Structure 1
Amino acid sequence: MEKPLSILICFMISISVLSAQERKTSKKILIHEAIKLETDHIFNKLVEIRRDLHENPELAGHEVRTQKIIKQHLLDLGLEVETNIYGYGIVGILKGGKKGKNIVWRAELDALPAEESGQVIFKSRKAGIWHGCGHDIHLAIALGMAEVLAKNKESLNGTIYFIFQPEEETFMGAKGMIDNGLLSKISPDEIYGLHVSALPVGQIMVRPNEMFAYQKRIRIKLKNELPIENAKELTKKIYSFLCRASTGSKPWELQAIVDPKIGLMQPNTIFKDYLIMDQNFTTYSKNGQLFLEAYLYETNSANLKDIIPKIKHIIEDSEYKDQLLSVSFIQENPTVINDERLTGIAMKTFEKIYGKDLAISDYGQVPYFNDDFAYFQQKIPGVFFFLGGSDFEKGIIAMNHTPNFEVDEESIRVGVRSFSSLMVERLNRNL
């Protein structure tokens, strides 16, 4: 018994002679080491939770079982829990040992209305419902972060609010929570979230400002019905006139986002400075009028105001000039826009703690996808990350919303460890 005691005495003496700055630095290193150890310790449990959620997915507005599981898990961790917010939303409240900032981490509850066709052994048990966007992974990461940080709460200066949001796939949940007064109740200073992506597992990608292209749905209304061929001819003119991309590039080929030469991680990526749209418009008649509709994706917000005038100009220069009734956007959701300062801080934080290879810069904007996290960012400065979920050697490709979407569960470990460390640094720094 004497030897361990002598070692402890020597350790205490060595700590006492350290400068205040050295003790502070040592404490920081220790908490991030603790985060890594705790993450490894609970990893298998998080995988089990993820697989249970995957087998029992629920559509937007029906997240009853999911809410119950998340709520109980948070209560077991000792967090305060609020559920009377919007729909089946949940907020877990983790108060640190000292007062400080209020930071939000957000995850989503709902699944997609789609059939699963992958090879996993824990397939969805519900016909036509599937976590084909990775929200089950997001939930497992958020629960893991809550557990790891709860075990280190005395080291936290401030409060973390874990928002588990319903109805993301319908783009209604975030706005619903905000409209019901959530943000006025918790007064957050910053907000963070992620989306699993087709990047390799072990990587986090982020950029300041727009993460996605601006998505709009255009509607053209004409007085009279047109023969199908005439309608196709008109929409082809509009498509040819509006679309823009760098020579030889095809930003509509989403699989190229991970291409090492032209993907998002390259400054010369094909996923910047483009406008692409549906080549085949949705065409239908109603009350003797013709409606032409299509989605379009524009990277430059300054160009959005010119789209409707350009379409009007095309039609007014055609034989259908006298038939034009209106051109309008019928859907124009906000897009995710990352705070420049917080994005830069996050990149530096990851590099300092986990090295240069963890977080990489995103040089483009992804088409087709978007996230209603954008509504939170309209009210609070925040950052939205892409988390790698693919293992190409194993044939695991985390391309969201595709029939064979699958995620390497090692991404859970990477997410919990990395973002828990980020939350600690953001709470314990007055930046």
Structure 2
Amino acid sequence: MKKLPLTLLCFVSSLLSAQGLNSKKEAIVHSSTRVEQMVHQSVQQETDRIFNKLVNIRREFHENPELASQEKQTQEKIKQYLLDLGLQVQTDHYGHSVIGILKGDKKGKKIAWRSDMDALPNDYPDPEAFKSKIKDIQHGCGHDIHMAIGLGIAEVLSKNKKSLKGTVYFVFQPEEETFKGAKGMLNSGLLSKINPDEIYGLHVTATPVGQIMVKPREMFAYQRKIRIQLKNGLSEDELTGLSKKISSSLFRVSNGGKPWEIQSIVDPKIGLTNPDTVFKDYLFTDGKFNIYSKNSESFLEAYLYETNASRLVMIVPEVQKIIENSGYQNKLLSVSFVQENPTVLNDEKLTHSAIEILQNVYGKNSVASDYGQVPFFNDDFAFFQQKIPGVYFFLGGSNFEKGVIAMNHSPNFRVDEESIRTGVKSFSSLIIERLNQN
């Protein structure tokens, strides 16, 4: 056999060594992938195992709703559930809040999952067999579903504790409907005690059951309540005419749409999942201005919905100009926003990471793109996002074939409970993967 030159022998030797190293790396990667697959299979199996239990506790919440600041029984149920899982539990932060703390077997980052707790004051028809036992109070927004999902994630992750590299905080927040709970918890020093690196939450909505929808930045339109203060002397007709002129002058929609027709969010042609959705680039007032007199002065008030944050500062000067051009400059006393809550604003980097994780684990169709912003609704989860990078998801709850329509705050509001299964497995996997991405 012909002897190879020394330089060629060295090259072959190094190549074989490199191939050996690559084989080891590939083996490690394959092994890691198999472990990840096993973890997520365990998540799905555990979710299926506890699903009926979660449905039952959801129905208990639904039958026994409590208004904002009155969530005492709800707090006790959540507290006991988390204690039974072996979590540390804190109830001394604000109101009837509950914090469950799950520490993984390994050190790592800290992630919070938020679920809201309170119900609504309403007497809408409730078609469920397990309807509210409390007169004029209902879980008509889906917070009973949110709590069941939060407890489910806590149970699944507690059973997969060995896979957790870090700490998970389960934040059960009261008083969301009054927009006070998140701010109250923060003002009470929540972050000085738990200080998570990132936070996640969801809201069940009217889209198809099990569909997860998310987008970077704004999920809702910016809501502002505008008040115009005028000297007395204008007739009712003049005030009505002025309010109509203001509404029509501010009015802006895309594609000739009607974004105030909230039921259209599920329409595949114009709804949130269509890039040409009518739920983007709009400004409109919510119905007629409220006109009233007080202390010899007249007031016009209305809610505005604007999708573009940079245009908000233009609205008050524009309204002032409309009034002046209408010949009422001598009557104008002030124009101001008297309510301007922040809107949910998803962290771009975290949102893209969450989408990638969910699609890698549960397939490309597991997350739908959201191209619009929903008017009328909002969530005080926004206050958490001002302090902590976070992502807020929509989770579909409607089953149109069964006549189940999860249109929040509406008569006959119902949720397909399969959404609980989707929420628990998907977001348990998301949290595990985010903890592993240290």
The alignment's TM-score, normalised by the length of structure 1, stands at 0.95
Secondary structure in structure 2 of the residue aligned to 1:402: coil
CA distance in 2, matches of 1:310, 1:118: 44
Q: CA deviation at 1:312?
A: 0.4
- Cα distance, 1:247 vs. partner? 4.2
Q: Which residue of 1 aligns with 2:71?
A: 63
Choose which of 67, 73, 88 in structure 1 pairs with 2:81: 73
Give unpaired runs (5+ residues) of structure 2. Answer: 1-23
Task: Show the counterpart of 1:129.
Answer: 137
Trace 1:244-263 onto structure 2 (pairs within 5 A).
244-263=252-271
Deviations 1:361-396 (A, max 9, x none): 100000000000000000111100000000001110
Residue by residue over 1:323-376, the C-alpha shift from the partner in whole angstroms, topping out at 9 and shown as x without a partner, is 111000000000000011111111111111111111011000000000000000
> For 1:398 and 1:247, how far apart are their aligned partners in 2?
26
Greater mean alpha carbon deviation, residues 298-307 or residues 20-29: 20-29
State how far apart, in whole Å, the 2-side matches of 1:270 and 1:342 are. Answer: 26
Q: Give 2:291's aligned residue.
A: 283
**Separation (CA, whole Å) in 2 of partners of 1:117 and 1:279:** 24
State the partner residue of 1:211: 219
CA distance in 1: counterparts of 2:151 and 2:344, whole angstroms: 23
Query: d(CA) in 2 for partners of 1:411 and 1:102?
Result: 26
Residue of structure 2 aligned with 1:335, choices 317, 338, 343: 343
Q: Is the 8 A contact 2:75 2:96 kept in 1?
A: yes
Q: Select 1:36's aligned residue among 44, 47, 56.
A: 44
Residue 153 in 1 paired to residue 158 in 2? no
Residue 174 (structure 2) aligns with: 166
Q: Could you tell me whether the CA contact under 8 Å between 1:389 and 1:409 is conserved in 2?
A: yes
Q: 1:161 to 1:241 in 2, by over 3 A?
A: same
Conserved? CA contact 2:228–2:301, under 8 Å: yes
Which whole-Å CA distance do the structure 1 matches of 2:400 and 2:137 have between them?
A: 26
**Partner residue, 1:407:** 415
Deviations along 1:14-53, whole A, 9 cap, x unmatched? xx99933222211111010000000000000000000000
Distance 2:284 2:325 in 1: 22
Query: Which structure would you say has the larger Rg?
Result: 2
Query: Which of the residues 27, 31, 49 maps onto 1:23?
Result: 31
For 1:247 and 1:235, how far apart are their aligned partners in 2? 25
Aligned length: 415
Q: How does 1:45-64 map to 2 (within 5 A)?
A: 45-64=53-72
**Residues 132 and 138, structure 2, Cα contact 8 Å, conserved in 1:** yes
Give me the whole-angstrom Cα distance separating, in 2, the residues matched to 1:206 and 1:23: 31
| Residue equivalent to 1:397 | 405
Alignment of 1:200-239 (within 5 A): 200-224=208-232, 226-239=234-247
* Superposed displacement of residue 186, structure 1: 1.0
Query: What is the aligned partner in structure 1 of residue 325 from structure 2?
Result: 317
Take 1:275 and 1:184, find their aligned partners in 2: how far apart are those partners?
39
For residues 166-210 of structure 1, the C-alpha deviation after alignment (integer angstroms, 9 at most, x for no partner) is 000000000000011101211210000000011101210000010
- Partner deviation per Cα, 1:107-153 (whole Å, 9 max, x = no partner): 00100111131311010111111100000000000000000000111
Secondary structure of the residue aligned to 1:357 is: helix
Return the match for 1:138 from 146, 155, 173: 146
Residue 278 of structure 1: how far off its partner (Å): 2.1
Distance 2:365 2:284 in 1: 32
What is the match of residue 250 of structure 2? Answer: 242
Give the AA of the match of 1:370: N
Give the aligned residue type for 1:299: T
Distance 2:373 2:180 in 1: 23
CA contact (8 A) 2:256 2:278 kept: no
In structure 1, the gaps of 5 or more residues are: 1-15
Q: Name the structure 2 match of 1:374.
A: 382
Q: Does 1:107 align with 2:115?
A: yes
Q: Name the counterpart of 1:361.
A: 369
Structure 1: 4+ residue segments shifted above 4 A: none
- Secondary structure of 1:123's counterpart equals coil
1:23–1:247: structure 2 CA closer, same or farther, 3 Å change rule? closer
What is the identity percentage for the equivalent residue pairs of Structure 1 and Structure 2? 64
Conserved in 1, the CA contact under 8 Å of 2:112 and 2:169?
yes
Give the drift of 1:317: 1.4
> What residue in structure 2 maps to residue 93 of structure 1?
101
Secondary structure of the residue that 1:199 maps to in structure 2? strand
> 2:229, 2:253 → 1: CA distance?
27
1:272 matches 2:285: no
Residues 236 and 279 in structure 1, CA contact (< 8 A), matched pair in contact too: no
Task: Report the 3-state secondary structure (helix = DSSP H, G, I; strand = E; otherwise coil) of the residue aligned with 2:205.
Answer: strand
* 1:322–1:17 CA distance, 2 compared to 1 (3 A): closer
Alignment match, 1:5: none
- 1:215 match: secondary structure: strand
Residue of structure 1 aligned with 2:314, choices 297, 306, 319: 306
CA distance in 1 between partners of 2:180 and 2:159 (Å): 33
Q: What is the CA–CA distance in structure 2 between the aligned matches of 1:261 and 1:225, rounded to whole Å?
A: 48
**Aligned-residue CA RMSD in angstroms?**
1.3
